[in-house]
Amino acid sequence: MRPSIVNVWLIDGGTEWALIDTGMRSPESQAAFREALATLGLAPTAIRKIVCTHHHPDHFGASALLRDLCQAEVFLHRLEVERVKGFLPQPRSPEVVAFFRRHGLPLERFAHVPSPGKFWANLYAPTTPDRLLEDGDELRIGRQRVRVVWTPGHAPGHCCFYFPETKALIVGDHLLPKISPHVGVFPDGPQNPLGDYLESLDKVARLDVATVLPAHGGIYGDHRRRVAQLRQHHDYRMLAALDAARTRPRTAYDVAQEIFGFDDLAPPQVQFPATFEALAHLELLVRQGRMARLEENEHLLFRPM
């Protein structure tokens, strides 16, 4: 998958250690984790808390394995717990298939594509968390204080973790240095995730941050500059979505082809997320009064106001 590397973070609290995110349950990931512990001379049981930013496989996929290995408590936001099943093996429901068709995805070309649960079957082994996180919670990792900052958008219960003494912010996928996180509308998810994401960007911009630790890419500073860049990126995407539907009403799939520049031969791992992300931009435009929805031949179409 891309990005191909996920950063997880070991936190030294003086009297105990914590792990932020788990990586996937792959042999390579677990070998890297054990090598890191050996380099530090650290026994797995020194890690007393496993705190996860969100439920996606590259962040929560090894949580069952590492919980058993470390005998640690696992923490996750309550909204993420109900999303875990989406990555477990199960057939696609008629409602999900209807959602895909409604937004223009040509499912006849993707009949061979496995469901997310089948794709992740060998890499995703989640556990039931011991504690549910809420916005504003304060955790203790030994002598370190950590504030939970709820940042929905990429996932409904995505959380960042702020260390006030050091002004460090662990951001998961919320504020990546090189790429924008995927923000899409899904059949059973929030209908305005992009609006949630933009509000979450403003929320973290108000924090006093010296160091940003992302899940993908290098450590960086000046988080407010990155917030401004990401807001500008999504403003541009919304203008592009408006332009794509100006000549005639379009489905989210049509708009995605236009603004992301893919054709019918692109792999499904491009076409599906691009459609969901285009839909997130279209839904926000509807809420802003800049786009209208139309029903036609069991498709949902969008046109500028």
pLDDT at residue 122 above 90? Answer: no
Which pLDDT score, from 0 to 100, does residue 3 have?
Answer: 75
Which pLDDT score, from 0 to 100, does residue 36 have?
Answer: 95
Cis preceding-peptide flag for 3 (omega within 30 of 0): yes
Q: Are 196 and 154 in contact (CB under 8 A)?
A: no
**Domains of the chain listed by start with CATH number:** 9-304 (3.60.15.10)
pLDDT at residue 96 above 90? Answer: no
What pTM, to 2 d.p., does this model score? 0.94
CA distance 300 to 191: 14
Range scoring the smallest mean pLDDT among 35-39, 105-109, 117-121: 117-121
Q: Are 261 and 279 in contact (CB under 8 A)?
A: no
3-state secondary structure the chain: CCCCCCCCEEEECCCCEEEECCCCCCHHHHHHHHHHHHHHCCCHHHEEEEECCCCCHHHHCCHHHHHHHHCCEEEEEHHHHCCHHHHCCCCCCHHHHHHHHHCCCCHHHHCCCCCHHHHCCCCCCCCCCCEEECCCCEEEECCEEEEEEECCCCCCCCEEEEECCCCEEEEECCCCCCCCCCCCCCCCCCCCHHHHHHHHHHHHHCCCCCEEEECCCCCECCHHHHHHHHHHHHHHHHHHHHHHCCCCCECHHHHHHHHHCCCCCCCHHHHHHHHHHHHHHHHHHHHCCCEEEEEECCEEEEEEC
Copy the structure tokens of residue 280.
């997130």
87 or 227, greater pLDDT: 227
138 or 96, greater pLDDT: 138
Q: What is the pLDDT of residues 257-305, one digit of tens each?
A: 999 999 888 888 899 999 999 999 999 999 999 999 999 989 999 999 9
Choose among 128, 183, 124, 177: nearest CA to 151.
183
Q: What is the pLDDT of residues 203-218, one digit of tens each?
A: 999 999 999 999 999 9
> From the centroid of its chain, how far is CA 193?
11
pLDDT at residue 111 above 70? Answer: no
Averaged pLDDT score across all residues of the chain? 94
**Gyration radius (Cα) of the chain, Å:** 20
Using a pLDDT cut of 90, give the percent of the chain over it: 84
pLDDT at residue 115 above 90? Answer: no
Q: What is the pLDDT of residues 156-188, one digit of tens each?
A: 999 999 999 999 999 999 999 999 999 999 988
Which pLDDT score, from 0 to 100, does residue 229 have?
Answer: 98
